[in-house]
Amino acid sequence: MTEIKEVTIRRARREDVGHIIAMLADDPLGGPRERIENPLPQSYFRAFETVDRNPNIQLVVAEDGEGAVVGCLQLCTMPGLSSQGASRGLIEDVRVASHCRSRGIGEQLVQWAVVEARARGCNLVELLTHHSRVDAQRFYERLGFARSHVGMTIRF
Amino acid sequence: MTEIKEVTIRRARREDVGHIIAMLADDPLGGPRERIENPLPQSYFRAFETVDRNPNIQLVVAEDGEGAVVGCLQLCTMPGLSSQGASRGLIEDVRVASHCRSRGIGEQLVQWAVVEARARGCNLVELLTHHSRVDAQRFYERLGFARSHVGMTIRF
């Protein structure tokens, strides 16, 4: 058994953007969509400011005992009329640094998001995971998610 | 062939809430989650006010030539860091009144949402459709969506 790594989940700050993009890029599906340059393209920082100002979106990072950013997740809570006017939560962009996987960090991030969504009045949390990410699907099932829906996308 | 019904897509107003809830309730999956009472539970109107105030959420209805509400859709546009800081759109709560189906109304609603999401800087529009809604999946495929993801949910 690998050791469980206790992390602190905290709101992302501007200085975390580089670490977050590095994790988003270190992925067979997401990688080709990012641009890792020095300095990073300004579009990342503009997006961070927009996320940071939006009270319904929480971009968080997992920080280990040494202060290193080792994971990230974005939660969006959305009001809506269905289910008697309950809100819904959407989890996106879950990543754990490759050298820190299988130590329960993703689990702590997702469980944080579920608790937070519930505290914000959501009666449902949803997410889309690419059909090729079979391990991710098993991971979410272990945390209580059901493979209830087909996730459909159109990309421009 | 059934005739195509030309509809006007417009922002939902408070007086549309009853019509929207009636469409949400007239559904084998969503129906049991709603409460159709007279007057409607206040939670629906509170949710409407929250949606209406949120600049990133657009709840729209399709209105026919006689001014009747015959469809609805909710679009949420979300900023995010991935894909070089592009935004994403999420389509939810698509319904067409049962007596008006198969006349292209759902198509007009979804195409409105895709155009709108693109105009708001999204590079992706996503949605979850219950795995039992096989007709809906074919409908979205016809509009250019791919069955690329597994949609996972946890309900409280």
B1 pLDDT higher than 70: no
- The distance of Cα A79 from the centroid of its chain, to the nearest Å, equals 19
Residue pair A84/B30 in contact (Cβ under 8 Å)? The answer is no
B3 pLDDT higher than 80: no
Task: Say whether residue A88 is in contact with chain B using an 8 A CB cutoff.
Answer: yes
A136 pLDDT higher than 60: yes
Q: Are strands A87-96 and B122-130 parallel, antiparallel or unpaired?
A: unpaired
pLDDT band at A2 (very low <50, low <70, confident <90, very high): low
A54 pLDDT higher than 70: yes
Burial B35-61 (b: 16+ CB within 10 A, else e): eeeeebeeebbebbebbeebebbbbbb
Q: Looking at residue B4, what is its pLDDT?
A: 77
Q: The tokens of A54 are what?
A: 């939006």
Average pLDDT, chain A: 96
CA angle (B63, B120, B72) in 5-degree steps: 20
What single DSSP character describes residue B90?
A: E
ipTM: 0.95
Helix, strand, or coil here: A61? strand
Task: Say whether residue B54 is in contact with chain A using an 8 A CB cutoff.
Answer: yes
Query: What's the whole-number mean pLDDT along residues B16-45?
Result: 95
Query: What's the whole-number mean pLDDT along residues B47-55?
Result: 97
Of B112 and B28, more confident? B112
B134 pLDDT higher than 60: yes
- The distance of Cα A20 from the centroid of its chain, to the nearest Å, equals 10
Q: Show residues of chain B in contact with A76, CB under 8 Å.
A: 76, 78
| pTM metric for this prediction | 0.96
Give the one of B82, B125, B156 whose C-beta lies nearest to A118's C-beta. B156
Of B112 and B29, more confident? B112
The residue whose two tokens read 């509400």 is: B69
Q: Show residues of chain A in contact with B126, CB under 8 Å.
A: 128, 151-153
A10 pLDDT higher than 90: yes
Question: Cβ–Cβ of A150/B128 closer than 8 Å?
Answer: yes
Task: Say whether residue B111 is in contact with chain A using an 8 A CB cutoff.
Answer: no
Q: Looking at residue B5, what is its pLDDT?
A: 81
- Tens-digit pLDDT profile for residues A67-85: 999 999 999 999 999 999 9
What single DSSP character describes residue A67?
A: S
Give me the total of CB pairs closer than 8 Å, taking one residue from chain A and one from chain B.
224
In DSSP terms, B153 is beta-bridged to A126, A146
CA angle (B93, B112, B122) in 5-degree steps: 85
